[in-house]
Amino acid sequence: MIIDSGEYKIEIVFEAIMSESWSGVPDIGENKAEEIWIEVEPEVSIRVLIWKNNDSDEGFGPVVMVPGWGSLFQGWKPLVSEWVKRRNLIYIETREKGSSRINKRISKDCFSVKRHGKDISEVLKYLEIDHSSIDWFSSSLGSTVLIDSYQRGDLGGRSSILLAPNYDFKFPLWARSIIQAPLPMLAFRKLVGLVAWAVDKRTKEEGQKIRYRRALLSQDVPKMLMSARANLGFSLPSNLSSIEVKCAVMTASSDTLHDFEKIERIANSIPRCKLIEVPSNQYAHEAEVLSEIEQFHYSLA
């Protein structure tokens, strides 16, 4: 299928792209991952990648990563490739992604922020990981899920770096109209190219453009549609004073897809939270950001 975006044409072969993007052990050099699907409720399993580093510092627990909405591992490969040389790392793909295995009829309730938090709790329970030992790293929707779970008391941790959390999900009016429209699924599939073009236009950072375009064109459209509908009505509570995890909110003023003022509001609402500004959202996906991450971790020792 060819979709003309107006500036360039995007060829989408959904099945080929999805099978390539959402399964298989990533090749990142000597450190090999274990790929498993963990059942988080009956008929629903999510993909988890686990790297065990025998040389990791015994004074730290694992790093647990929860990436953003529809995020592909490929976008995080530069950071993960370096990080797994130093730490045990667990990478959890939330259920809206193409990797999840859902063998029942889906609705927007299946993809609520609270439901994602419960899924993560089930993963930790399955892996027998003590919450208090975890250094979390998350992005976008993943960050929002963790903040909501911390506030509820459903998740805990030693520390948490929250990249570009969403206070709410304020899609443009045209996007909300499409998301809520009673269109057949075939029509939604054809609109993917239009959405990719619109996001491309709104994004300033070139690396971020490439990541989002690649991710959008690889999605399981029914899951992402229901997830978008679930996100539309969500916002974090204004009072986040119950959070006990030591948090840092990471952001870049050049990131036009995440509202800088709302991110600052989140940071100011979490007790003793540190705001870490980085040069760009793309920088936060590169190995160089480990300098800021480790500085924060060691400050807690």
226-239 burial string, b = 16+ CB within 10 Å, else e? bbbbbbbebebeee
Question: Where is pLDDT greater, at 173 or 207?
Answer: 173
Contact 149, 138 (CB under 8 A): no
Contact 74, 47 (CB under 8 A): no
Q: Interior CA angle at 90 toward 132 and 251, to 5°?
A: 80
Tokens of 24: 């298989």
Range scoring the smallest mean pLDDT among 62-76, 110-124, 181-195 = 181-195
Contact 120, 152 (CB under 8 A): no
pLDDT at residue 206, rounded to an integer: 58
**Rounded mean pLDDT, 157-165:** 96
Tell me the domain boundaries of the chain.
Answer: 2-299
State the sign of the Cα–Cα–Cα–Cα dihedral 64, 138, 281, 267. Answer: negative
Residue-wise pLDDT tens digits, 41-60: 999 999 999 999 766 555 67
Instruction: Please identify which residue in the block is written with the tokens 């991952």.
Output: 33
Question: Where is pLDDT greater, at 61 or 120?
Answer: 120
**Rg of the chain on CA atoms, in Å:** 18
Residue-wise pLDDT tens digits, 2-39: 334 433 333 334 444 444 678 899 988 888 899 999 99
Residues in the chain: 301
289 DSSP 8-state letter: G
Q: What is the pTM of this model?
A: 0.85
CATH 3.40.50.1820 fits 2-299, yes or no: yes
Contact 65, 73 (CB under 8 A): no
158 phi-psi bin (left φ>0, alpha ψ -120 to 50, beta other) = alpha
- The 3 state secondary structure assigned to 90-148 is EEECCCCCCCCEECCCCCHHHHCHHHHHHHHHHHHHHHCCCHHHCEEEEECHHHHHHHH
